[in-house]
């Protein structure tokens, strides 16, 4: 065993568990892909200012959790703690917003990094699938994204999640609410660090998870009581569209999420089977973020869904994903000539789209058949010198035990047909 270990708060994804994570990523991103969202990939690190200006200098993410570094050239960089700011930066840099086809719809998947206290569901290196719609202000767009996330969860068989919904108003109505909230918070018994947030961004106090703080927030003013008519109408349209789509939600007047860029629609998906770390995904509208990072006014909305927490949610419900076998066919050569012949057949099967593996290392038939059974393959190809002399390969069904001699020239098509038939039955 190597003396080196994965850093604290991180973990390695290894087979067979890694197949579950891949399946979750595919299921969560599939609805967005089918809704016209194109794939975007951004660097794992960005300029520190992109996050301090966009995510917010008063957030825990920026003040406590961001991994930062200084390059040899003196650049201040940060490992990305979230995806939205990076994706918007990339869209602006690529001038996607000038092509005339708004909104720009993008989806992404990747790793993100925050220096947090490790616990179940909260890691320092975590994986998310995200989707962003940039450049349009429309309640239907907010609703579309929520529906896409719901579809992704349902596609996985997840049922125990809840959708929390709120609105944070906009630049017209939020100042009055901010002043009312500040006045309320200044009358509470808060520590010095929390009191400093009252002046910088009082909404951050509402997002405080400590019980000593939350116990004092019961009488706090609610944003829904301070909305302008435009924000009231916008939020009501989102609620009506969700209801018409058959998606249940819970109005949560205290939902602000942990980032400074949100405006209007804010939502979170929670799962009660995860304990303290119950959020499995969330997002909202961020109409002013583009201007915060130096771009033009581009009203936008998006979400990020946690892959790690979704896996934990599936486990808490006892959901076992129906994953295809990594290998459909396993070749067992008996002797050197058979190794060469079956190796060529394996290559042909792979080119034909059949997942195929072969016993390496010159193992005997007993050890090779054990490998075939462990591989999860449905069929084994077995050949020795006598088989090759007769121009055949033995095709064995590892489930039924039935075995048949097939001409070498016909084996690729024969095996491909058998595999397709089995998968057709399973479908």
Q: The domain spanning residue 349 has which CATH number?
A: 3.40.50.800
pLDDT tens digits for 115-160? 988 877 788 999 999 999 999 999 999 999 999 999 999 999 999 9
Same domain? For 299 and 401 the reply is: no
Q: What is the pLDDT of residue 12?
A: 92
Q: What is the pLDDT of residue 258?
A: 58
CA distance 43 to 37: 19
- Domain-located, residue 231: yes
Q: Which of 266, 290, 317 is the last residue of a domain?
A: 317
Q: Tell me which residue of 413, 418, 423, 425 sits closest to 352, measured CA to CA.
A: 413
Instruction: Name, in order, each residue with C-beta under 8 angstroms of 85's C-beta and a sequence gap of 6 or more.
Output: 46, 50, 51, 54, 55, 261, 289, 293
**Is residue 288 helix, strand or coil?**
coil
Q: Edge-to-edge strands of the sheet including 403-407?
A: 356-358, 329-333, 379-383, 392-397, 403-407
- Domain-located, residue 136: yes
Q: Model's pTM, two decimal places?
A: 0.89
- Domain-located, residue 324: no
- Domain-located, residue 375: yes
86 CB-side CA count, 13 A: 25
Same domain? For 302 and 341 the reply is: no
List strand residue ranges (DSSP E) for 26-86, in order: 38-39, 45-47, 68-70, 76-79
The total number of residues written for the chain in this structure = 427
- Domain-located, residue 193: no
Same domain? For 258 and 344 the reply is: no
Are the beta carbons of 31 and 69 closer than 8 angstroms? no
Instruction: Name, in order, each residue with C-beta under 8 angstroms of 414's C-beta and a sequence gap of 6 or more.
Output: 395, 406
CA distance 339 to 364: 12
Structural domain boundaries enclosing 294: 17-173+227-317
Same domain? For 286 and 343 the reply is: no
Q: Which of 288, 317, 346 is the last residue of a domain?
A: 317
Same domain? For 258 and 339 the reply is: no
Q: What is the DSSP string of 314-333?
A: HHHHT----PPPS-SEEEEE
Same domain? For 239 and 311 the reply is: yes
Given a cut of 50, the residues of the chain with pLDDT beneath it are 427
152-153-159 Cα angle (round to 5): 150
Q: What is the pLDDT of residue 261?
A: 72
Same domain? For 109 and 238 the reply is: yes
Are the beta carbons of 219 and 117 closer than 8 angstroms? no
3-state helix, strand, coil in the chain (%, to 5): 40, 20, 35
Phi, psi of 283 (to 5 degrees): 175, -155
Q: What is the pLDDT of residue 319?
A: 95
Same domain? For 118 and 246 the reply is: yes
Same domain? For 157 and 295 the reply is: yes
- Domain-located, residue 71: yes
17-20-22 Cα angle (round to 5): 115
Place of tokens 């991180």: 10
Q: Which of 317, 345, 362 is the last residue of a domain?
A: 317
Count of domains for the chain: 2
Instruction: Indicate which CATH number applies to the domain containing 58.
Output: 3.30.930.10
Same domain? For 334 and 303 the reply is: no
Same domain? For 259 and 137 the reply is: yes
- Domain-located, residue 399: yes
Same domain? For 388 and 253 the reply is: no
Instruction: Name, in order, each residue with C-beta under 8 angstroms of 158's C-beta and a sequence gap of 6 or more.
Output: 271, 310, 313, 314, 317, 319
Neighbours of 274 (CB within 10 A): 20
The CA–CA distances, whole Å, from 300 to 84, 88, 174, 262 equal 10, 9, 18, 10
Are the beta carbons of 282 and 267 closer than 8 angstroms? yes
- Domain-located, residue 182: no
């Amino acid at each position: 065993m190597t003396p080196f270990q994965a850093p604290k708060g991180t973990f390695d994804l290894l087979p067979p568990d890694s197949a579950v994570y891949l399946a979750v990523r595919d299921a969560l991103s599939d609805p967005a892909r089918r809704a016209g969202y194109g794939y975007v990939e951004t660097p794992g690190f960005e300029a520190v200012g992109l996050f301090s200006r966009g995510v917010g200098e008063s957030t825990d993410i920026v003040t406590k959790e961001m991994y930062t570094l200084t390059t040899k050239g003196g650049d201040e960089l940060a490992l990305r703690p979230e995806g939205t700011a990076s994706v918007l930066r990339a869209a602006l840099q690529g001038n996607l917003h000038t092509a005339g086809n708004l909104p720009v719809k993008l989806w992404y998947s990747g790793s993100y990094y925050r220096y947090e206290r490790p616990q179940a569901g909260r890691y320092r290196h975590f994986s998310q699938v995200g989707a962003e719609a940039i450049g349009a202000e429309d309640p239907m767009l907010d609703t579309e994204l929520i529906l896409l996330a719901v579809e992704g969860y349902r596609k996985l068989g997840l049922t125990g999640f809840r959708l929390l919904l709120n609105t944070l108003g906009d630049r017209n109505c939020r100042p009055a609410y901010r002043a009312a909230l500040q006045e309320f918070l200044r009358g509470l018994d808060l520590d010095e660090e929390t009191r400093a947030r009252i002046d910088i961004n009082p909404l951050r106090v509402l997002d405080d998870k400590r019980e000593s703080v939350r116990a004092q927030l019961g009488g706090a003013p609610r944003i829904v009581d301070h909305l302008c008519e435009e924000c009231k109408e916008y939020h009501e349209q989102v609620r009506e569209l969700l209801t018409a789509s058959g998606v249940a939600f819970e109005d949560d007047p205290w939902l602000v999420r942990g980032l400074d860029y949100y405006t209007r629609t804010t939502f979170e998906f929670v799962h009660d089977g995860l304990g303290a770390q119950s959020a499995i995904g969330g997002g909202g509208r961020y109409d002013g973020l583009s201007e915060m990072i130096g771009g033009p006014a581009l009203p936008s909305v998006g979400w990020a869904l946690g892959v790690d927490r979704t896996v934990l949610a599936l486990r808490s419900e006892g959901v076992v994903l129906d994953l295809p076998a990594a290998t459909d066919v396993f070749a067992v050569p008996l002797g050197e000539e058979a190794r060469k012949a079956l190796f060529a057949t394996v290559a042909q099967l792979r080119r034909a789209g059949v997942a195929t593996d072969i016993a390496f290392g010159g193992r005997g038939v007993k050890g090779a058949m054990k490998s075939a059974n462990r591989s999860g393959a449905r069929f084994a190809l077995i050949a020795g010198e006598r088989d090759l002399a007769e121009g055949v390969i033995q095709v064995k069904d590892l489930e039924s035990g039935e075995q048949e001699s097939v001409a070498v020239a016909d084996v690729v098509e024969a095996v491909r047909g058998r595999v397709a038939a089995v998968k057709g039955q399973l479908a």
